[in-house]
Structure formats: structure tokens, C-alpha cells
Amino acid sequence: MRIIFGLAFLLTTTWSLCQISSNEWHNGIVVTTDQDTISGEIKYDFPTNMVTLVKNESVIAFSSHKLIYFEIYDKVYKSYREFYTISYKNAANYATPILFELQYEGVLSLLSREKIVLETSSLGYGYGLPIVSQPSVRYDYFFLTKVGKLTQFSGSKKELLRILAKKKNELQTFIKSNRLKTDELRDLVRIIAFYNSI
């Protein structure tokens, strides 16, 4: 039992050391509203809509108001990722530029904003076993049309079919036959790619 509690303590005290992309520095470039392109080591933060860049030992911080675009080679996911600032109305109905990641580009594009949530789980089954909290990445999804209309999407199948009602029947068949989940990023990319192809 002492081993289990020791393991639980280790996991709960070191969760912040897990590799989550927003905690890491990545090689990349930023393009500013002044049309400057700057390369360096980049760290991004969705909650504050800030990007920090280190170049030649100088640290530069950019708010979403000063950025058009940035791109990184994500060493956690081992892939290139693209981010844009787009004006979006907040809860107070005030439009302000915020960061979005481009997940799929087409007639209808899929964008996302990531957030870090703590997921709790037990180290086994039974009463009294320790609970472990670990960080996990979740996404808020958005659809962007060619004319610039941005719509938030909750991830529910019912809402997806309402938003994309013109091709509802084809989408229902595609989702069912491929056993896709509308709240999973990888599956949602496939769904939007299919939507754009029909």
C-alpha cells in the first residue's frame, strides 16, 4: 500500500512536467501586424492570447493584437502547426482578435482553441485508493467560411448536422459508416474534409 501512495504522490507532484505543447518552446516564425517576419523559439498561451519569442537571447512578447500569424514545428506532436489571429466576439459581445489554430483549410475550415484541463482517475478499483490528477489537452472548435463567418461548435453530432444542414443526409451516412465521433479532433477533420468534397 505504501508503494501505491508513493506512486500517487509522485504522479500528482510531477504532472506539470508532462509534455504539453503550450508548456514547451518550439522553433517557428511569427508575422506581425507591421508585416515583420521573425524566427526564433516560440511559446504560445491560449488563455492570455500571447506568444513569446526568443531570438538571439532577446525575449519578445506579442499579444494577439500585434500578430497576424505564427507557425511552429511542434516537438511534442512532431509536426508543423499554423495559428492565426481572427476577430471574435467575446461574452460581452465585444470583437477582439484572439488566437486560433488551423486544423483543416477548405471552403469550410476547421479551427480550434486548446485548453488544458485536469483529469482525475483512481489508481485501481476499490474504496480508499488514491486519486491522481493529470493535465490533458481539450479543444473548443470553430467553423470558418470563405466569407469570414466564424461559428463555434460544441462537438455534438446534433449541432453539427444543424450547422451543416445542406448536406445532412450525406454526413449522417459518412459518420455512421466510419464510426466517427464529432467531438474528436481527428474524426472531425475527416468529417469536414468529406463535407468539402461533396
pLDDT digits (tens, 9 = 90+) for 8-44: 333 333 333 457 899 999 999 999 999 999 999 999 9
Per-residue confidence (pLDDT) for residue 122, from 0 to 100: 64
In angstroms, the CA 153 to CA 159 distance is 7
- Indicate the range of 5-9, 67-71, 87-91, 146-150 predicted with least confidence: 5-9
- Tell me which of 135 and 145 has the higher pLDDT: 145
Prediction pTM value = 0.82
Is the Cα torsion angle 51, 190, 198, 167 positive or negative in sign?
A: negative
Name which of 91, 139, 100 is nearest 117 in CA terms. Answer: 139
Residue 127 has pLDDT above 90, yes or no: no
Per-residue confidence (pLDDT) for residue 93, from 0 to 100: 80
Residue 194 has pLDDT above 50, yes or no: yes
Residue 191 has pLDDT above 70, yes or no: yes
